[in-house]
Amino acid sequence: MAPLHIPFERRLQTASVLWWGIEPSLALCTFVFICTIPFFWPFALAYLIWMLMDKSPQRGGRRFDWVRRIPYWNYFVSYFPVSIVKEKDLDPSRNYIFGYHPHGIIAVGAIATFASEATGFSDQFPGITPSLLTLGTNFKIPFHRDYILALGMCDVSRSSCKAVLKSGPGRSIAIVIGGAAESLNARPGTIDLVLKKRLGFVKIAVETGSSIVPVLNFGENDLYEQVDNSDGSWLRWGQKKIQHIAGFTVPLFHGRGIFNYDMGLLPHRRPMHVVFGEPIDPPSDMTGLDKDEVVKNMHDKYMENLKTLYNKHKDTYAPNRIKELEFVE
């Protein structure tokens, strides 16, 4: 159990992470409650129609910088804490695709890094405006959708990626490449990545002339414990079936609670170091080049750079690792 005498600042940090976890459910419940009051029915109907017609998630989002800078995010980031480590400055006249790894259970580090300014992203990379991409289903939750749009988040569809990258210099996207499949591999002390067949982000980079930046979070997989679901187990089989049918996975995991340190749905207080590697530029002129060959070469180089990034920083940020980084799929 957590001791009674905890500094108030730590209480605020825990409350901020708790709010982050329950906010989507509260947003949905609030909308349902509004719908039970006849006086609000015209407003609820108008909102639903507008929500269905709004194409902002596919057209670059509806970003409000002040929402990304509210003090709440400082407590959220300090809870772990999360810090940025960069290998090289980025040219603000170019566009970038940030490939984030690993997914972890919920990609908490990606939210802290790309959906807020509490880690100092804009100070580290002036002139670069990132949009964290997520599943389109997240934009179907009333009120919650408006919140994440204000944070600069967008749909992860192909059209959305291109819309952001073509909207001006410095406009960039962050994609959690491993996606839902990778969450099944999230365990403390390991970084097992789903990347071998993930070529879509490289194709978009070639088509839009954007550079790809590998981003590796040392600590994302340490936030939660996961029930054993090794290959061949009935649990893994069931999770893969759900993923195939529904498009998302259901990892069985636990972290800590509000008043205890060993059981609950809050992530553990464990540091995350988000390391940004050097950008990989696509050919400036594709004349006479085979697109598929260019994509393959860039993808191979990306995997190689990601491995190099890991080897360079593993002893500093992952001294207690159980195994080395591995590309499992």
Q: Is the pLDDT of residue 16 over 80?
A: yes
Please write the tens of the pLDDT for every residue from 110-129.
999 999 999 999 999 999 99
Q: Is the pLDDT of residue 256 over 80?
A: yes
> Which pLDDT belongs to residue 284?
86
pLDDT above 70: percentage of residues in the chain: 100
Q: Is the pLDDT of residue 103 over 90?
A: yes
Please write the tens of the pLDDT for every residue from 52-96.
999 999 988 899 999 999 999 999 999 999 999 999 999 999 999
pTM of the predicted model as reported, rounded to 2 decimal places: 0.93
More confident position, 70 or 181: 70
> Which pLDDT belongs to residue 117?
96
> Would you say 257 and 213 are in contact if contact means Cβ atoms under 8 Å apart?
no
> Which pLDDT belongs to residue 241?
82
**DSSP strand pairing (253-254 vs 225-226):** antiparallel
> Which pLDDT belongs to residue 260?
85
Mean pLDDT of the chain: 93
- Rounded to the nearest 10°, the torsion over CA 45, 47, 52, 53 is 110
CB atoms within 10 A of CB 145: 20
Give long-range contacts, CB 8 A cutoff, 24+ apart: 67-72. 67/147, 67/150, 67/151, 68/115, 68/116, 68/117, 68/150, 68/151, 68/152, 69/116, 69/117, 72/16, 72/19
> Which pLDDT belongs to residue 93?
95
**How would residue 229 be classed by pLDDT, with cut points 50, 70 and 90?**
confident
Query: What's the whole-number mean pLDDT along residues 34-38?
Result: 95
Q: Is the pLDDT of residue 4 over 80?
A: no
Query: What's the whole-number mean pLDDT along residues 118-143?
Result: 94
Question: Residues near 201 by Cβ (< 8 Å), separated by ≥ 6?
Answer: 97, 99, 161, 175, 177, 212
